[in-house]
Amino acid sequence: MKRNTIILTAAGVLLLFAGMILSVHIGAKNIPVSEIYRAFFHYDDSLNAKLIREVRLPRMFLAILVGGMLSLAGTMMQGIMRNPIAEPSVMGVTQGATLAVSIAAVSSFVSGVYGNFFMALLGAAGSGMLILIFTMGKASNQSISRILLAGTALSTFFLSLASVVALLGNRSQELAFWVAGGLRQAGWVQVGIVASAGGFFSILAFASAAKINIISLGDDAAAGLGISPERVKLRIILYLVPICGVCVAAAGNIGYLGLFVPHIIRKLTGNDYRRLMPLSFLYGSTILLLADIAARTISAPYELPVGLFTACMGVPVFLMLVRKEKR
Amino acid sequence: MKEKKNSSKMAVCLLLLSAVIIIALMVGSYHISPVQVIQTLLGNGNKLQNFTIFQIRLPRVVLAVIVASALGVSGGILQGITRNPLAEPGMIGINAGAALFVVLWIWAGTTDYYSTLPLFTVLGMPLLAITGSLLSVGLIYLLSSKGGIRPVRFILTGIGVNGGILAVITFYQLSMSKGDYNQVLTWTNGSLWGSSWNYILLTAPLVILLIGAVLFRSKNLDVLALGDELAAGVGLSVAKERLLFLLFATFLAALATSVAGSIAFLGLLGPQIAKKLTGPAHGKMLPMAALISSILLVGADVIAKNLFSPIEIPVGIVVSIVGVPYFIYLMIKER
């Protein structure tokens, strides 16, 4: 088990590094690697150097941060709900944030990057509260079908409202881009906010890994060990809300990433959340980075929604998990 | 005694439906008073009133009733065979399959279907939608069958397939021009925009036929709803009956989707409310579900058309805004 983890970490880091170089290298204009090196260490005002600093680098960092955080959020949700299918987009948290962002997009009282972030946080908080209502019940009520139906209904609801808002503001196609997810808006401001706010709560989340371990054994076991499951769940959801909120504000609705990444990592390293959470973060980053490269290049000069790629990978895993259900 | 109570409930609902229909015929950019509506329906209207009601508003209302009945009965069947009160054709991918095919069709360049409605399109859309939803149900059936179909697994697989199909739809939507896109959006969220007598002539007989067939066999549906063991004990061929009813539900949902896009939650609300009024026997519950769904959809369409006039919002969105809080209420109550 231990060796597995080391190999997995090393492979993940290598892949991530390769992805980082590719992400800066590939685009509408392929920039040679030597120029990338120059842009870092001998910065001049050439177009390539500017392109790297202002466009490619922030996008790369945003992909890493958002991918990692969404996978982390999915891992934590699966842990506290003891349910392999829980994930921010399946549960409607990201759709709640999407609704809030669409309101921000058509109204005049909040605007700009900070307005978007603020609204996304608000929306994620609202939908997070609803999830709280569904998860605080007895463990016997947390069957997969129940949680899923609740999540599906919530997401439909939020997206419907968002569609009304967008239709009225004549912004529906922009909303669709948002819902499909993508990193077009990446800039240093977005990277800064996601890294600081999201990073802060991610660190808190990593620190709670041991608690999630205990919770995932079951409420009774946790109570026996002197830990109140309700309090830990509440705290984790409080961490989840800002993490999901900043991710949606920066990258839209990237679905299923938080579902399949932790699932695969769990298969490879087991159920210890102290290993599971960092590794999920690492692989979530890598996969979103690679998916973003694919989204930019497959039908260049047009960009495909990156959420399409994550859905392509996530839906089969979802179906497989459902197939394994006993009932 | 019970019979009488049931029929009086039915009568009240019919009255409600006619009231909603009259309101739907009244309001719009050209307002017609209720007395004038009734006069026009009796054949004493002036030229403008005749045109507005018979060519524009009445087809829309009739189509709403057909679509709602189909979805209500379809939802009722699904809730029966899956024994899950929350099952609904929109959520488990039946509508999405139909929607995908129609979106592909629009994407492939038949964009003039709103303006001219050539005969081929009128015939082609329902066929296409039915093909799409049959394929998606077939896929869900295959993916969830593992030594027979378990209801819960079927629903969950449906949700997953639904998610996948929606992602593909988004992909095609995004590569459309803004005008096409808005039409597709209105369509994928459910709308009675393209209603005309042509569609009604095509769908009404089929829907009536299917609902009739379902009602004729409704006793078997009652038995299925008791559970597999009991149903098998009574001598029912469970797998065969379930498949048959699944096909009925699919065809009904597909027909509805082909003319009105995917309207979610209507198939949930109608049967739920009907069950409260008539009890669980499908023979009584399903007609009531059709009636309740019709009231809801005609009412929702009035709101969708007039609330933000001249912008029309998809009627499916109005239904979900009403339907979801009710759904959440059901979930919380269930614990």
Residue A310: closest CA among chain B residues belongs to which residue?
Answer: B167
Of B167, B327, B335, nearest to A137 by CB-CB distance is B335
Q: Which residues of B touch A157 (CB under 8 A)?
A: 320-321, 324-325
Of B191 and B317, the one with more pLDDT: B317
Write out pLDDT tens, residues B44-102.
778 888 888 888 888 889 999 999 999 999 999 988 888 877 788 877 788 888 888 87
User: Which of A129, A157, A317 to mutate: most B Cβ within 10 Å?
Assistant: A157
What tokens does B216 get? 């004729």
Q: Which residue of A has its CA nearest to B323?
A: A157
Residue B212 binned pLDDT confidence (cut-offs 50, 70, 90) = very high
Shortest CA gap B12–chain A (Å): 30
Nearest CA in chain B to A149: B86
Flag if B91 and A153 touch (Cβ within 8 Å): yes
- Nearest residue to A233 via CA among A205, A264, A260, A261: A205
Q: How confident is the model at residue B113 (pLDDT cuts 50, 70, 90)?
A: very low
Q: What residues contact A172, with CB distance under 8 A and at least 6 apart?
A: A163, A166, B181, B182, B185
Identify which of B91, B160, B185 has the shortest CB distance to residue A315: B160
Distance CA A154, CA A144 (A): 15
**Can you give chain B as a three-state secondary structure string?**
CHHHHHHHHHHHHHHHHHHHHHHHHHCCCCCCCHHHHHHHHCCCCCHHHHHHHHHHHHHHHHHHHHHHHHHHHHHHHHHHHHCCCCCCCCCCCHHHHHHHHHHHHHHCCCHHHHCCCCHHHHHHHHHHHHHHHHHHHHHHHHHHECCCECHHHHHHHHHHHHHHHHHHHHHHHHCCCHHHHHHHHHHHCCCCCCCCHHHHHHHHHHHHHHHHHHHHCHHHHHHHCCCHHHHHHHCCCHHHHHHHHHHHHHHHHHHHHHHHCCCCCHHHHHHHHHHHHHCCCHHHHHHHHHHHHHHHHHHHHHHHHHCCCCCCCCHHHHHHHHHHHHHHHHHHHHC
Please tell me the predicted confidence (pLDDT) of residue A228.
80
pLDDT in tens, B178-205: 667 766 776 677 777 666 787 788 888 9
Say yes or no for a CB contact (<8 Å) between B321 and A161.
Answer: yes
Q: What is the mean pLDDT, run by run of 10 residues, along chain A of 327 residues?
A: 80 88 78 74 73 84 92 89 79 85 76 77 82 62 68 82 80 73 81 89 89 81 79 84 86 85 86 88 92 83 81 84 69
- Percentage of chain B with pLDDT > 90? 11
Q: Does B9 touch chain A (CB under 8 A)?
A: no
Beta-sheet strands, E only, within chain A: none
CB contact under 8 A, B320 and A160: yes
A156 and B146 within 8 Å at the Cβ level: the answer is no
Give me the pLDDT at residue A218, please: 76
Of A164, A179, A311, the CB nearest to B163: A311
- The nearest CA of chain B is from the CA of A189 a distance in Å of 27
The reported pLDDT for the residue numbered A70 is 92
Of the partner residues B86, B178, B324, the one whose CB lies closest to the CB of residue A173: B178
- When pLDDT is averaged across residues B153-169 and rounded to a whole number, the result is 84
Indicate the residue of A133, A163, A176 with minimum beta-carbon distance to B317: A163
Q: Which residues of A touch B264 (CB under 8 A)?
A: 156, 160
Partner-chain contact B324 A156, CB within 8 Å: yes
What pLDDT does B297 receive? 92
Do residue A157 and residue B153 have CB atoms under 8 angstroms apart? no
- The answer to whether the Cβ–Cβ distance between A315 and B173 falls below 8 Å is no
Name chain B contacts of A145, Cβ cutoff 8 Å. Answer: 84, 152, 155-156
Determine the distance in angstroms separating the CA of A23 from the nearest CA of chain B, rounded to an integer.
Answer: 23
Of A152, A153, A164, the CB nearest to B317: A164
ipTM of this predicted complex? 0.75
CB B301 within 8 A of CB B17: no
Collect all residues of chain B within an 8 Å Cβ-Cβ radius of residue A154.
Answer: 324, 328
| Chain-chain contact of A153 with B321 (C-beta, under 8 angstroms) | no
Range among B125-129, B233-237, B286-290 rated most confident: B286-290
- CB B174 to CB A177 under 8 A? yes
Nearest Cβ partner for A153 among B144, B160, B327: B327
- Say whether A173 and B182 touch across the interface (CB within 8 A): yes
Q: Residues of chain B with pLDDT > 70: what percent?
A: 90
